[in-house]
């Protein structure tokens, strides 16, 4: 009777999800999709160095596990992470899985670009992401509510104007600010401090890319700060 009782006890289904992620090829696919960009099966196959047939099998398993979603556009099929919860799970798993030799790893040439600035499911992460989070809090652009969520303050318009948002965009952001998951902290993989996640963070990164302050790397999550960005972002991210 004790065994049956244990089996009927509700528990999270860690094992199934862990088994899906445990395959090296699927793990590398998920890591690439963590950048927030939609990718075709062919792109994922080339990035992971496997055949299209093998990639298709892996993607089917990821779809069945609700870790990715499929979007069809004409004859093309694109894959993305299922949602922000999956992205946060992967980022948290990275923190736990890579606690050894942290400083040595992030000082290598391959990791340095990711450490400085990268996309984490469409929002800014790395050193630059932490600086953004801290600046928005110190400058009072974001304030916490009773539920712990972050909202735009009444004085946020000044910062948003300086960032290049027009009045209509600012009004839209203020309206969205009362919604759930507008802005919230997310523990950063490399910095072990919080960067900003949520709808607001996604719109900020999209704006930085559109204005030419940051440039995306097609084959990596790394983001490059352009000459224009070097002139603009430090002013926005000042903690004074």
Q: What integer is the mean pLDDT of 176-197?
A: 90
Residue 72 lies in a domain: yes
Residues 151 and 220 in one domain: yes
Q: Is the pLDDT of residue 205 over 90?
A: yes
pLDDT tens per residue, range 32-52? 888 778 889 999 999 899 999
Question: Do 58 and 108 have their domain in common?
Answer: no
Q: Label residues 130-150 b or e (16+ Cβ within 10 Å = b).
A: bbbbbbbbebebbbeeeeebb
221 and 115 both lie in a single domain: yes
* 10 plus 115 within the same structural domain: no
Q: For all residues of the chain together, what is the average pLDDT?
A: 88
Give the model's pLDDT for residue 120: 87
* 95 in a structural domain: no
Does residue 108 belong to any structural domain of this protein? yes
Output the pLDDT for position 147. 73
Handedness of CA 176, 142, 32, 94 (dihedral sign): negative
Residue pointed to by tokens 């939609």: 38
- The DSSP annotation for 70-82 comes to EEEETTEEEEEES
The alpha carbon of residue 52 and the mean position of all alpha carbons in its chain are separated, in whole angstroms, by: 26
Domain assignment of residue 91, yes or no? no
Whether 221 contacts 34, CB under 8 Å? yes
Q: Which domain holds residue 123?
A: 101-236
- Position 1 scores a pLDDT of 46
87 falls within a domain? no
Domain count, the chain: 2
pLDDT in the model for residue 4: 52
70 part of a folded domain: yes
- Residues 229, 116 within the same domain: yes
Q: Count other C-beta atoms under 10 Å from residue 14's C-beta.
A: 8
Task: Give the pLDDT of residue 11.
Answer: 65
- pLDDT at residue 125, as a whole number: 94
Question: Is residue 81 over pLDDT 70?
Answer: yes
List C-alpha distances in Å: 193 to 29, 87, 89, 137, 171.
25, 17, 16, 14, 30
We report the CATH number of the domain holding residue 18 as 1.10.10.10
For the chain, counts of helices (H) and of strands (E): 13, 11
Gyration radius from the chain CA atoms: 20
Residue 240 has pLDDT above 50, yes or no: no
- Are 131 and 189 found together in one domain? yes
- Does 90 fall in a domain? no
49 burial (CB, 10 Å; 0-12 / 13-18 / 19+) is exposed
Name the β-bridge partners of 222.
118
Question: Does any domain span residue 226?
Answer: yes
What pTM value is reported for the model? 0.74
pLDDT band at 7 (very low <50, low <70, confident <90, very high): low
């Amino acid at each position: 009777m004790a065994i049956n009782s244990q089996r009927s006890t509700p528990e999270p289904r860690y094992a199934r999800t862990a088994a899906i992620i445990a395959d090296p090829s699927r793990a590398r696919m998920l890591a690439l999709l963590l950048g927030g960009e939609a990718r075709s099966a062919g792109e994922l196959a080339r990035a992971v160095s496997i055949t299209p047939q093998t990639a298709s099998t892996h993607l089917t398993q990821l779809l069945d596990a609700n870790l990715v979603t499929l979007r069809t556009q004409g004859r093309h099929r694109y894959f993305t992470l299922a949602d922000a919860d999956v992205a946060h799970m992967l980022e948290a798993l990275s923190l736990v899985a890579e606690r050894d030799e942290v400083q040595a790893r992030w000082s290598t040439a391959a990791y340095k670009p990711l450490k400085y600035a990268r996309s984490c499911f469409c929002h800014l992460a790395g050193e630059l992401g932490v600086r953004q989070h801290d600046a928005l809090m110190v400058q009072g652009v974001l304030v916490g509510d009773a539920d712990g969520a972050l909202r735009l303050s009444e004085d946020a318009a000044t910062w948003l104007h300086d960032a290049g948002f027009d009045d209509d965009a600012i009004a839209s952001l203020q309206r969205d600010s009362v919604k759930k998951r507008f802005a919230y902290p997310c523990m950063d993989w490399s910095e072990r401090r919080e960067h900003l996640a949520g709808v607001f963070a996604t719109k900020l990164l999209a704006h930085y890319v559109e204005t030419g302050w940051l440039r995306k790397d097609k084959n990596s999550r790394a983001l490059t700060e352009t000459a224009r960005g070097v002139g603009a972002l430090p002013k926005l991210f000042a903690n004074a």
